[in-house]
């Protein structure tokens, strides 16, 4: 089913549990926007100052909002780059936030870019974040931790009644020389049920990506 392309609008109100509710300033109307208040409310989980966050797939974030990376020139990022090949040294950043297109159809129709798989983005984010630093990704799936990271927390993110759910998943890069132990893995059936109110029920591409995330033959994805 083709995606209907409408003029960008300010993001809706964030509903990320009652204690994570806020209003914020509307960013420039370019496709790719965090819900209002999300960055501020994620700071305790990212454990860094707001200006230190590296925003990959930064979209409409205004200048001065952390360090912005986007592949689209019209987004006017601080760094024009692919989130899967960031122009930064290993361990250079305090924290990373990712808000990529959620489906191949979205990537093509709304952004005019190739769909970046969450695992590819997370691997590169894990490379550039400092040891002990955290990564947050907004998506319709909750990805598995990539090598060198552990799962910290996943929040349900809604933009209103009768709207699809998204997940905000937080990971942490291992500290050298510290045994973090095994990261518990949620069974695939529970994982799917947890986001069944989102894209899986109506976007075959995202359902396929979710299946590949849990497939034992696609662990490198």
**Model pLDDT, residue 169:** 96
**Model pLDDT, residue 7:** 52
Per the domain annotation, does 7 fall within a domain? no
- Name the token pair of 56: 């990959």
Per the domain annotation, does 6 fall within a domain? no
CB 14 within 8 A of CB 37: yes
The H-assigned helical ranges of the chain are 38-46, 104-106, 118-128, 188-194, 204-214
* DSSP code, position 31: S
C-alpha dist (Å) from residue 53 to 17, 47, 115, 217: 22, 10, 23, 34
Per the domain annotation, does 192 fall within a domain? yes
- Residues 70-85 pLDDT 10s: 998 888 999 999 999 9
All residues at 6 or more sequence positions from 43 whose CB lies less than 8 Å from its CB, including other chains: 49, 50
Domains contained in the chain, number: 1
Per the domain annotation, does 13 fall within a domain? no
Helix and strand numbers (H, E) in the chain are 5, 7
**Model pLDDT, residue 196:** 31
What radius of gyration do the chain's Cα atoms show?
16
Task: Show the domain range for 132.
Answer: 18-173+185-218
State which residues of the chain have pLDDT below 70.
1-32, 177-221
Per the domain annotation, does 139 fall within a domain? yes
C-alpha dist (Å) from residue 28 to 4, 9, 68, 157, 177: 20, 9, 14, 22, 43
**Model pLDDT, residue 151:** 97
31: domain CATH number is 3.40.50
d(CA 6, CA 168) in angstroms, rounded, equals 25
Q: The whole model's pTM is what?
A: 0.70
**Model pLDDT, residue 110:** 77
- Name the token pair of 167: 């997940």
Per the domain annotation, does 54 fall within a domain? yes
CB 45 within 8 A of CB 136: yes
d(CA 155, CA 157) in angstroms, rounded, equals 6
Per the domain annotation, does 62 fall within a domain? yes
3-state secondary structure of 99: coil
Length of the chain: 221
- Residues 118-162 pLDDT 10s: 999 999 999 999 999 999 999 999 999 999 999 999 999 887 788
- Name the token pair of 190: 């529970």
**Model pLDDT, residue 179:** 52
């Amino acid at each position: 089913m083709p995606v209907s392309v409408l003029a960008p609008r300010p993001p809706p109100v964030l509903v990320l549990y009652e204690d994570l509710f806020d209003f914020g300033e509307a960013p420039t109307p370019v496709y790719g926007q965090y819900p209002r208040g999300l960055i501020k409310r994620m700071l305790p989980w990212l454990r860094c100052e707001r200006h230190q966050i590296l925003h990959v797939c930064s979209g409409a974030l205004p200048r001065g909002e952390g360090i912005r990376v986007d592949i689209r020139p019209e987004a006017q990022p601080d760094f024009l780059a692919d989130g899967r090949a960031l122009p930064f040294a290993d361990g250079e950043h305090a924290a990373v936030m990712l808000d990529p297109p959620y489906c191949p159809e979205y990537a093509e129709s709304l952004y005019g870019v190739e769909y970046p798989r969450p695992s590819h983005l997370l691997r590169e984010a894990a490379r550039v974040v400092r040891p002990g630093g955290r990564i947050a990704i907004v998506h319709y799936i909750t990805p598995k931790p990539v090598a060198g990271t552990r799962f910290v927390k996943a929040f349900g993110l809604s933009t209103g009644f009768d709207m699809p759910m998204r997940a905000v998943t937080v990971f942490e890069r291992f500290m050298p020389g510290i045994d973090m132990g095994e990261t518990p893995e949620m069974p695939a059936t529970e994982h799917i049920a947890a986001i069944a109110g989102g894209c899986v029920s109506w976007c075959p591409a995202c359902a396929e990506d979710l299946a590949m995330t849990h497939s034992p033959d696609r662990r490198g994805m």
